[in-house]
Amino acid sequence: SQNIYILAIESSCDDTAASVMLNGRILSNVVANQKIHEEYGGVVPELASRAHQQNIVPVVQQALKKAGVEKSQLNAIAFTRGPGLMGSLLVGTSFAKSLAYGLNIPLIDVNHMQAHILAHFIDEEDFNKPEFPFLAMTISGGHTQIVNVSDYFDMEVIGETIDDAVGEAYDKSGKILGLGYPAGPEIDKRAQQGNPKAFKFTKPKVDGLNFSFSGLKTAILYFIQKETKANPNFIEENLNDICASIQYTIIGILIDKLKLASKETGIKHIAIGGGVSANSGIRKALKDGEKKFGWTTYIPKFEYTTDNAAMIAIVGHLKFLEGEFSQNNVVASARLKL
């Protein structure tokens, strides 16, 4: 059968990424992180868009070079159509459209959320692909969703955040504690050396499978304000315990909802994705779920779980096989639904 080479481009938030895939296997996976946002403690959309414009040509060139693939060998260009920041999406979308047009090959638009889930189908040694149906929990700085996945392109969102994403809960807590951005990895590291029961934060009451994290952030803020009034060195003296307690609360929220989703659907195959799936606490809680609840869990390689273009490439590959190509007039969509 024919070899299928896909070039994929991702630019929905603050990472400019390109990847080349051959028949479902990754040949290259290049990500340019935008350091510029660190000093602002969060992503600044206008700066993100400008950085994408600077990065996109070198990132694509590097992806092709690392893969050892010529532009003329490509069979299709896949790109993130949404959801994401409009100014960021526009850069990737325009670039992908022009390149596909110039090379006279098909263009494939990809939903970023679908890509986080289908990243589990990248062909890799030593990695079992999930069996359908499975539950996918996508947890990152931009998203928090539980999706019932019946097939590659048959997915239903059964729960999502009504306010902040879980990664934002980490990053905003980190800001209160004076940690750098993004704070997730440091809170995780410190949490492993602290006592998770040292401080208690109440979990939000949200119906069904939806999540809420904005109340937790406020609770942490008030708690820190109160404690530092009494003891100005409170944070320094208790940082590991504070981090462990925050992490314990967040993981509890995530696992409670996963348990409920599994119970309601009867599905025991559970996959996670998104930057927060790197978290040691969530990984351990999932492994515990295998013993406690008979779950089978799937966690992709880290480079395929934070924002990347390899996950866009696998969706491109699967859509290519189905002959699902974009129209010439396809446009970026900031609020694209699953």
Q: For residue 90, what are the contacts with CB-CB under 8 A and spacing of at least 6?
A: 49, 332
Contact 75, 100 (CB under 8 A): no
Binding mask 214-233 vs ligand KG4 (x if CB under 6 A, - otherwise)?
Answer: --------------------
The span from the CA of 77 to the CA of 320, in Å, is: 10
- 306 assigned to a ligand binding site: no
- Taking residues 253 to 292 in sequence order and writing x for each that binds ligand KG4 by CB under 6 A, - otherwise, the string is ---------------------xxx-xx-------------
The HSE-up count of residue 295 (CA atoms within 13 Å, CB side) is 28
Shortest Å distance, C-beta 176 to ligand KG4: 14
How do 134-139 and 269-273 pair as beta strands? parallel
Cα–Cα distances in Å, from 190 out to 176, 239, 242? 15, 8, 9
Choice between 11 and 249, CB closer to Zn ion:
11
Please give the angle made by the CA atoms of 138, 128 and 123, to the nearest 5 degrees: 85
Indicate whether 307 belongs to the interface with Zn ion (CB under 5 A).
Answer: yes
Nearer to Zn ion, 177 or 312 (CB): 312
Residues near 169 by beta carbon (within 8 Å), at least 6 away in sequence: 213, 216, 217, 250
**Cα–Cα distance measured from residue 289 to residue 305, given in angstroms and rounded to the nearest whole number:** 20
- Closest distance between Zn ion and the C-beta of residue 336, in Å? 12
Instruction: For ligand KG4, give the closer residue by CB, 106 or 275.
Output: 275
Residue 138 among known ligand-binding residues: yes
64/42 Cα distance (integer angstroms): 31
Q: How far is the CB of 243 from ligand KG4 (least distance, A)?
A: 10
Q: Work out which of 171, 245, 248, 267 binds ligand KG4, going by CB under 6 A.
A: 171
Label the pairing between strands 5-10 and 107-111.
Answer: unpaired
Asked whether position 122 contacts ligand KG4 by CB under 6 A, the answer is no
Do the annotations mark residue 142 as ligand-binding? yes
Q: Decide: is 241 part of the binding site for Zn ion (CB under 5 A).
A: no
Kindly tell me which residue out of 7, 8, 13, 108 binds ligand KG4, with binding defined by CB under 6 A: 13
Task: Give strand ranges (E) for the chain.
Answer: 5-10, 15-22, 25-33, 76-82, 107-111, 134-139, 144-151, 154-160, 269-273, 296-298
Question: Which one of 10, 109, 241, 307 is in contact with ligand KG4 (CB under 6 A)?
Answer: 307
Question: Rounded to the nearest whole angstrom, what is the least distance from the CB of residue 221 to Zn ion in the complex?
Answer: 26
Residues 195 and 199: their CA atoms lie apart, in Å, by 8
The answer to whether 243 and 191 have CB atoms below 8 angstroms apart is yes
Tell me if 140 is assigned to a ligand binding site.
yes
Site track 129-168 with Zn ion (rule: CB under 5 A), x = hit? -----------x----------------------------
Where do we find the tokens 């609020």?
335
Q: Which residue, 188 or 307, has its beta carbon nearer to Zn ion? A: 307
Minimum distance of ligand KG4 from residue 213's CB (angstroms): 11
Is 304 among the residues that bind ligand KG4 (CB under 6 A)?
no
304 close to 79: Cβ distance less than 8 angstroms? no
In the complex, minimum distance from the CB of residue 73 to ligand KG4, in angstroms, rounded to a whole number: 30
Q: Is 171 annotated as a binding residue?
A: yes
Annotation: binding site for Fe cation? 112, 116, 307
Give the interface with Zn ion as residue ranges (CB under 5 A): 140, 307
Give the interface with ligand KG4 as residue ranges (CB under 6 A): 13, 140-142, 167, 170-171, 182-185, 188, 274-276, 278-279, 306-307
